Amino acid sequence: MLKKFRKKWVAVIAIAVVILLTVIVPPNRSQVLAGSTYNRSPSGYGAWYEFMTAQGIKIERWQKPLQKLKRNSPITLIRIKPEIESVSYAELEWLNKGNNLVILGVSAKTTQAPFSELISSKVGNVKIETTRRRGDSRLPQPKENRPDEKLALGNIKSLAQADGILPQTNLLDDEFGIIVWKKESQGTFIASVTPYLAANAYQNEEGNFKFLASLLSNLDNSSDIPIYVDEYIHGYKDQNADENLEGVKSWIDYLISTPLFVGIVQAFVVLVIFIIANNRRFGAPIAPESVSINNSQAYIEALSSILQKAQRHEFVWQAIAKAEQKKLRQKLGISPQEDQEALVKAWVQQTGGSPAEIESLLNPPKTKINTQQLLIWLQNWQNIITSAKNL
């Protein structure tokens, strides 16, 4: 009972550990690729990227850090990633230089809005499938600055403080809140609460693709501003993209960044648990059962081995004949005090056998016998005892 309980307890611990790891381990590869133009799954933007290129719009994929995106003229950068909580100081500084930043997937609270809704726009109906809405359209504020970003504070403080009075336009909203909006300063900031505004899942919703395209085409001097889609945040990197920024990563860093790491950690934890369980580390230790030794059997086996090697068949004959004769007397009802002749008579009377049949077994051999003769003698005794049992 205790053993079964221990196994159940170990199984519960193993399942709990696997569930905990599933919750705390970073998102898998499919979540990282959500919003990538290389992604052909419903959460990707491959179809929209092809739609833009087919329209003759200048659009490129950017696979380097933002710090590498240095141009003398303004550009437009699109970042598509679920649950973007804040804009970094580097992005605000970059926006303050006259560039345009479009973020799809700004964090927002859930509301009473229906999950699926068609909202009209200038280019047609846009299908929105989320209950998240923004109650205000403030820029997602940057988190506490890092030491290497302190120099940027002086340049963008005015932008962050003036956020509440910056010209702002709600581009897509309903009675429950704002879905897409823009703010204009030196550059234009456009944000959407849904990261799937023009994802592959909406290829049949023409209004979704056209709406996102119109957001970019309505920017000031949009015809002359190149559009870049940030693929660096999805793990796509040009060769030497991180040069002088992150250094060379080890194979351990690479392994941690892949979904394989999750499986390895889970397998290792489960393996450790079962090793501990098999070593019986839970509960009181169980002492091994001591093996009982049958001294009589051991003595008989040792003696028989010695007699066989010494060819002492006569000794074996005497010992067995005495034991078998005792059993036969008990079967025939003859007392040990009566002589051998009485035993023979009782055998003949009760079984109808011949006297010679039993006398040959009772009389000792006159010459030395071999192993074969001993085996025949034993078989004859077996037949006699069997006949007596049938009486």
Residues 214 and 105 in one domain: yes
Give the DSSP letter of residue 113: S
Which range is least confidently modeled, 262-271, 280-289, 331-340?
280-289
- Domain ends where: 243, 258, 273? 258
Range of 59's domain? 29-258
CB atoms within 10 A of CB 236: 17
d(CA 122, CA 196): 19
Q: Which of residues 258, 277, 309 is at a domain's end?
A: 258
In a shared domain, residues 239 and 181: yes
Q: Are residues 200 and 340 in the same domain?
A: no
- 209 and 309 share one domain: no
CA distance 82 to 61: 19
Are 43 and 186 in a shared domain? yes
Residues 74 and 193 in one domain: yes
Query: Is residue 243 domain-shared with residue 116, that is, in the same domain?
Result: yes
Residues 362 and 220 in one domain: no
Q: How far apart are CA 295 and CA 117, in angstroms?
A: 89
d(CA 345, CA 354): 10
Determine the average pLDDT of the residues in 351-371. Answer: 74
Rg (alpha carbons) of the chain, rounded to whole number: 47
> Is 251 in the same domain as 306?
no
Structure tokens at 6: 């221990």
Same domain, 183 and 46: yes
196 and 80 Cβ atoms separated by less than 8 Å: no
Among left, alpha and beta (phi > 0; psi -120 to 50; other), residue 177 is left
Q: Taking residues 234-247, what's their average pLDDT?
A: 65
Q: How many domains does the chain have?
A: 2
Highest mean pLDDT among 19-33, 155-169, 193-207, 316-330: 193-207
Specify the pLDDT at position 146.
44
pLDDT of residue 196: 93
Count of Cβ atoms closer than 10 Å to residue 260 Cβ: 13
Rounded distance between C-alpha atoms, residue 352 and residue 325, angstroms: 18
Please tell me the predicted confidence (pLDDT) of residue 300: 66
* Range with lowest mean pLDDT among 17-31, 229-243, 279-293, 331-345: 17-31
pLDDT tens per residue across span 246-258: 444 565 665 565 6
Residue 9 falls inside a structural domain: no
